[in-house]
Structure 1
Amino acid sequence: MATEATTTRSAAPLLGGVVIIAGTIIGAGMFSLPVVMSGAWFFWSLAALVFTWFCMLHSGMMILEANLNYRPGASFDTMTRDLLGNGWNLINGASIAFVLYILTYAYISASGSILSHTFAEMSLPVAPRVAGGAFALLVAFIVWLSTRAVSRMTAIVLGAKVITFFLTFGSLLGHVKPATLLNSAEINPSYAPYLLMTLPFCLASFGYHGNVPSLVKFYGKDPRTIVRCLVLGTLIALGLYIIWLLGTMGNIPRHDFVDIADKGGNIDVLVQALSGVLNSKGLELLLVIFSNFAVASSFLGVTLGLFDYLADLFKFDDAPLGRFKTALITFLPPVIGAMLWPDGFLYAIGYAGLAATIWAAIVPALLARASRKRFGSPMFRVWGGNGMIILVLIFGVGNALVHILSSFNLLPIYR
């Protein structure tokens, strides 16, 4: 009996960390994937997802390697300033703030869109701005309470999301047409030229790195448990992304994604396209419910990472007043942005991918290298030596170049 009780106690904290990572990753960003990957289509997109997962998992573990040399609660500001100097700290801080703020804005935009669509199905007209703002206030309250509150709420939301996911995509996969998935209707289609365009969106869709310091704060210096959280959380995300691509690309013909992208690529547009193809009210309802849970889980995870980063940056304490100050500067700017520009979801995800290359790939590699020189990494070291550091650096720099080239229309776009 004692052994069983011990196992239960050790499993519960692991589950909390796994759902924070998986819940942060699997969210509204996944709805951009089939739209931006329609040019490369299924098999090339699958290769891009697996490669991105591998690099982003190891860059997260590099953050952990450096973070374990500091007190629990220390975040990027403390680590980067100490290991890389003020210059890199300024660049990294700007990129973290930009990514987390723009993702928070993207999720407010997405939540407003899908909640407005949900209420419209119940004949209740609610403007997207109002729905998104109200939802942001609810998330702000949960994040203000504690990391444990976020973990518990994310576990509930993720559990509901997994249930609706399998109900939805069990039905979607049952309707998959091999001819649609293999794009048999097109003669001599071209896929490879559109592969590079997908990489920044893949990177943004595996963003959880702001939560690594939160896990160290949550678990203490327990690298074995935290690594398991990272591996299991990211693998869950990868598996669900693959099923999502199968369900969407196996039901919506490739050329139909052009019209979806032209309409802004927001969640409600994709849901309407799937519902139109399958002509099923029950499936549309499941898609709408799943979309709400998807937005909620990633919203909670991303804002928790931003909250802990800002608390470390401004040295706000963990008392209710200190947490209120942190919550205010976490949520107020993106809420204002979402009120002014409510339809920027797809653009926001893309730009998040550009800035995330700095703090989710380039800086983690540099932190691991500096940490090994300074401390010797006594508690944990990412496998692969300098070769893994170089791979993650190349991955980050390559993603940044792709986004810059794309911004100047120097890469082919599927139209």
Structure 2
Amino acid sequence: MFAINYKAVGATLLISGTMLGAGMLALPLVSSGMGYTYASLALVCIWLLMTYTALMLLEVSLAFPAGSGFDVMAQSLFGNKGLWIINASLLLLLYALSGAYISGAASSYTSNIKQYLGIDVPSAVVAAIFTLLIGSIVYMSTGAVDRVNRVLFSLNVFIFFAMAITIQPYVNQGNLNSTQDSSRYIYAAFPVFITAFGFHGSIPSMVKYIGRDKPQTLRNIFILGGLIPLLVYAIWEYCSLGLVPRIGENSFLTLAENQGSVGMFLDYIHASTSNHWIPSLISLFSSIALFTSYLCVSLGLFDSVASSIGWKDSKHDRLITALATYLPPFVFAWIYPEGFVLALGAAAIFLSILAILFPALALYKLRARDSYQAGWRVPCNTCSFCTVTMMGACIIVFQIMKMQNLLPIC
């Protein structure tokens, strides 16, 4: 009789939940120029890359004591310089994501308040209230974060599928078609796409939770855990690209020309359909996704800041840590209220270092040791190392070019 491994199922869903969040709201904003076919191919390519580097990192993690994080692995393999680079990349990644989510929430909530309540509230005020609310929950305890996140994430799963079913009849197949030069828009989308598949920070914890003696189970968890978001993203791209046209009034092109935000995207959805349930469901989904994503990211940033500075868990030190955690990204959102996609792109640079370059270089360094005896190996050779490293470097270059307006996005 086939027995279900509930622990593995829970871990798979946890991996999926780490990826599914507010980052998916940016996918249609950066992929509209490609059309649905190329966007789907790009998603599959990034899923394959990120899953493969996760398996690389799994082999590296299995070579160290259970519970060893990026810092332990980096220092052992690359010395103090490697430790500094990894710690700096992690902090900058979390700060960039925090800035993105505050900007996205301010834009989204401001739009919703205006649409449903008819009240114009400055986005800076909305950003401040949102940041204070999230900060208060994190300041209370990790348990408070867990309880709030569990309820909201479960609710959002049901909202997403209700939204997808409701939108389907209104999808315009013509909006999904690729144009003759669609492939040239892929390069600008890649950096944001990888932020939608970043779960690598959870790998050391998963190794400790599932057990070092079950590498095949861990491998299956990482593969299946990424397939669920891939399916969700494909459905989301189909719905959003099919609902909002690429060119014309209230289009993705207009969004791109105006440094489009989540709020503006929601406004265009309101204008693209007469069914009031569609924009309402999308607004509710995006609002919860932004809330839960920032709740989890800011908890990680809060702990990382406290660990880096060495502060204790007293009320005074937690307050100082909270200020260091929330003030910088709030200032960014205040200066760049439409900076959601911009900040996600910046986060892609640091995620490329942590989730693509580090796994490949760390595994190469590890296998070069004469004393290394692997209990489990990911299929990998010199060509694989070079290909993954080159792709990680290319994504960083693409993002830098995009920031310099050298790559088209629509």
* Superposition TM-score tier, normalisation by shorter sequence: 0.7 to 0.9
Structure 1 window deviating more from structure 2 (271-280 vs 48-57): it is 271-280
State the shift of 1:108 in Å.
1.2
CA distance in 2, matches of 1:379, 1:132: 49
Structure 1 window deviating more from structure 2 (80-89 vs 297-306): it is 297-306
SS in 1 for 2:338: coil
State the shift of 1:23 in Å.
2.8
Gap regions ≥5 residues in structure 2: none
Cα pair 1:271 1:288 within 8 Å, conserved: yes
Counterpart residue type for residue 167 of structure 1: A
1:107 pairs with 2:101: yes
The root-mean-square deviation of aligned C-alpha atoms, in Å, is: 3.1
CA distance in 1, matches of 2:141, 2:366: 30
Partner residue of 1:283 out of 278, 281, 288: 278
Counterpart residue type for residue 166 of structure 1: F
1:201 pairs with 2:192: yes
CA distance in 1, matches of 2:295, 2:378: 28
Cα pair 2:111 2:266 within 8 Å, conserved: no
**Equivalent residue, structure 2, for 1:210:** 201
Q: How many residues align?
A: 404
State the shift of 1:122 in Å.
3.0
SS in 2 for 1:109: helix
Structure 1 window deviating more from structure 2 (15-24 vs 166-175): it is 15-24
- What percentage of residue pairs aligned between the two structures are identical? 32
**Equivalent residue, structure 1, for 2:377:** 381
1:97 pairs with 2:97: no
Partner residue of 2:15 out of 21, 25, 36: 21
**Equivalent residue, structure 2, for 1:33:** 27
**Equivalent residue, structure 2, for 1:134:** 129
Partner residue of 2:390 out of 391, 394, 413: 394
**Equivalent residue, structure 2, for 1:66:** 60
Partner residue of 1:367 out of 362, 369, 373: 362
Deviations 1:78-100 (A, max 9, x none): 22122112223333332222221
CA distance in 1, matches of 2:103, 2:185: 27
1:331 pairs with 2:323: no
Deviations 1:60-94 (A, max 9, x none): 23333323444555432222122112223333332
Counterpart residue type for residue 402 of structure 1: F
Structure 1 window deviating more from structure 2 (118-127 vs 202-211): it is 118-127
Cα pair 2:108 2:266 within 8 Å, conserved: no
Deviations 1:188-240 (A, max 9, x none): 64212222221111112222223334445655646555544433332111111
Q: TM-score, normalised by structure 1?
A: 0.85
Counterpart residue type for residue 192 of structure 1: S
Cα pair 1:60 1:364 within 8 Å, conserved: yes
User: Relative to 1, partners in 2 of residues 1:230 and 1:153: Cα closer, same or farther, differing over 3 Å?
Assistant: farther
1:47 pairs with 2:41: yes
User: Relative to 1, partners in 2 of residues 1:334 and 1:217: Cα closer, same or farther, differing over 3 Å?
Assistant: farther
CA distance in 2, matches of 1:223, 1:310: 31
Q: TM-score, normalised by structure 2?
A: 0.86
Deviations 1:262-317 (A, max 9, x none): 23221111111122111222211111111112212322333344345445544556
User: Relative to 1, partners in 2 of residues 1:80 and 1:321: Cα closer, same or farther, differing over 3 Å?
Assistant: farther
Gap regions ≥5 residues in structure 1: none
SS in 2 for 1:247: helix
Counterpart residue type for residue 44 of structure 1: Y
**Equivalent residue, structure 2, for 1:87:** 81
User: Relative to 1, partners in 2 of residues 1:333 and 1:20: Cα closer, same or farther, differing over 3 Å?
Assistant: farther
Structure 1 window deviating more from structure 2 (295-304 vs 395-404): it is 295-304
Partner residue of 1:251 out of 243, 252, 258: 243
User: Relative to 1, partners in 2 of residues 1:62 and 1:315: Cα closer, same or farther, differing over 3 Å?
Assistant: farther
Counterpart residue type for residue 60 of structure 1: A
Cα pair 2:102 2:127 within 8 Å, conserved: yes
**Equivalent residue, structure 2, for 1:242:** 234
